[in-house]
Amino acid sequence: MEQGGEGPDLLLMLHGMGATGAVWSPLSADMLTGAGTRWQGRWLAPDLPGHGRSAAQASYAIGQHAASVARAVLPHMQPGGRLVVLGHSLGGVIALALASGWFGLMPDRVFAAGIKIAWSDEEVRRMDALALQPAKLFASEEEARERYLKVSGLAAVAGAPASVAARGITYGDGGWRLAMDPGANAVGKPPLSELMSLARCPVHLARGGSDAMVTLEQTRSLDADARDLGAHGHNVMVEAPARVWDWMASLS
């Protein structure tokens, strides 16, 4: 878990499937260079279960993810402090689950960018099949890193700092492999409409204007005021952290 800042308020940043908490490094760096105006409080960026340096778990259903995240975050809450959750892709779905208040955390506000909304049966079957396959071993660290960047969608981000790839690969069993537990692919089709209806705090959705995984129309089917964050792809927080900050600031 990466963390920084000071004060009672807490910003929790949840990454997407296949990535690690390190993808938020451009956002946290922009936070520091923003003369304290971006976020006045503390921030946490954990590796989700089965990702990076976090342990694998038996189930990766959205509720299990949310419960695990809540257990990790609760010791960091301070009396009277606000909790704001910012999630990307899978992390955005987990943020929606936390908005229900069912897991011991009650966010003041939730922001979610790049959630994949339309899932075909074939896509769900493919993810379930990937979950049953053993981790692929690579002969070199460079091969494993290239695979990680592709799986996490970071390969398409020109000029992404090296920090965003941290903890994405590991060495073991005689070779390099992705740090992600293959079983984490079995997250299932998220019940997005139900999660939105259960939210007990304001929820705001957005997407990068060039995100091939989700359209603005699909995003606005859940949030009529969902934002287009400009000509950026799926990992908009890496490509344009300032756009993400501006979006959050306009609604906070």
94-151 pLDDT tens trace: 999 999 999 999 999 999 999 999 999 999 999 999 999 999 999 999 999 999 999 8
195-235 pLDDT tens trace: 999 999 999 999 999 999 999 999 999 999 999 999 999 99
**What is the value of pTM for the model shown?**
0.95
Buried b (16+ CB within 10 A) or exposed e, 124-143: eeebeeeeeeebeebeeeee
189-198 pLDDT tens trace: 999 999 999 9
Q: Are 238 and 23 in contact (CB under 8 A)?
A: yes
Task: Sketch the domain layout of the chain as residue ranges.
Answer: 2-120+187-251
Inter-axis angle of helices 25-33 and 241-251, to 10 degrees? 70
* 242's tokens: 């300032």
Distances (CA, A) of 6 to 36, 69, 150, 160: 11, 21, 35, 27
**Looking at the chain, how many residues does it have?**
252
CA angle, residues 85, 89, 92, in degrees to nearest 5: 25
| Higher pLDDT among residues 159 and 77, named by residue | 77
Homologous superfamily of 2-120+187-251 in CATH? Alpha/Beta hydrolase fold, catalytic domain (3.40.50.1820)
19-72 pLDDT tens trace: 999 999 988 887 766 545 678 899 999 999 999 999 999 999 999 999 999 999
| Higher pLDDT among residues 157 and 213, named by residue | 213
Do strands 175-178 and 169-172 pair parallel, antiparallel, or not at all (unpaired)? Answer: antiparallel
pLDDT of residue 252: 77
% of residues, the chain, pLDDT over 70: 98
Do strands 109-113 and 83-88 pair parallel, antiparallel, or not at all (unpaired)? Answer: parallel
Closest CA to 92 of 222, 243, 183: 222
The Cα–Cα gap between 194 and 78 comes to 30
Q: Are 151 and 234 in contact (CB under 8 A)?
A: no
